[in-house]
Amino acid sequence: MQKISRRKAIGVMALTGTGLALGQVALAQTTTPLKIADLSQLAKEWDSVPFEFNSTKSLLMRVPRPDQEDKRVQEVKQGDSTVYLSAYNLVCTHQGCTPNLPNTQHQLVCPCHGSTYNADGTVVRGPARLPLKGIKLEVKDAAVFAMGYLEG
């Protein structure tokens, strides 16, 4: 049996870890499109459609027009009007619990430790510090598809 130096072993582990991480990024970018809903299911602001994406509970929501550009909210032309959509995994970024569906203030509250998120998945109140994992959307022929995860 050949001995391997500690330096070489650490180098091999670092390369392996980098390869695994890059593979996960590539996998997230090549997710097969998943039909979530028809736009008709989101007839008015605050309508939402729960769905599963990559085996994780997720939520699609029609939201009001954002005050400023927001990559978590997608603008979609629907006839003569424009609708705004947001989608994300329902996994609290604090400790992985499932936030409740939106309340009357259109916020999602995690039942475990009280983290609160806006309708676009951004944090209102901690202990969570990171937003819910955003899902990239595409609309074709009045159908909404999940295309992968948003970056960042």
pLDDT at 3: 73
In angstroms, rounded to a whole number, what is the distance separating the alpha carbons of residues 57 and 127? 21
Average pLDDT over residues 106-130: 94
Cβ–Cβ under 8 Å, residues 45 and 63: yes
Q: State the DSSP string of 106-135.
A: S-EE-TTT--EE-TTS-EEESS--S---BE
**Residue 87 host element (H or E):** strand 81-89
How remote is the C-alpha of 2 from its chain's centroid? 47
51-90 pLDDT, tens digit per residue, is 999 999 999 999 999 988 888 999 988 778 899 999 999 9
State the pLDDT confidence band at 13, using cuts at 50, 70 and 90: low
Mean of all residue pLDDT scores within the chain = 86
Question: Cα–Cα–Cα angle for 39, 32, 147, nearest 5°?
Answer: 45
In angstroms, rounded to a whole number, what is the distance separating the alpha carbons of residues 117 and 51? 18
**Alpha-helix runs per DSSP H in the chain:** 6-29
pLDDT at 74: 92
Q: Which of 15, 84, 8 is nearest to 45 (CA)?
A: 84
Which residue carries 């997720």 as its tokens?
Answer: 58
Q: Which of 49, 118, 42 is nearest to 81 (CA)?
A: 42
State the pLDDT confidence band at 16, using cuts at 50, 70 and 90: low
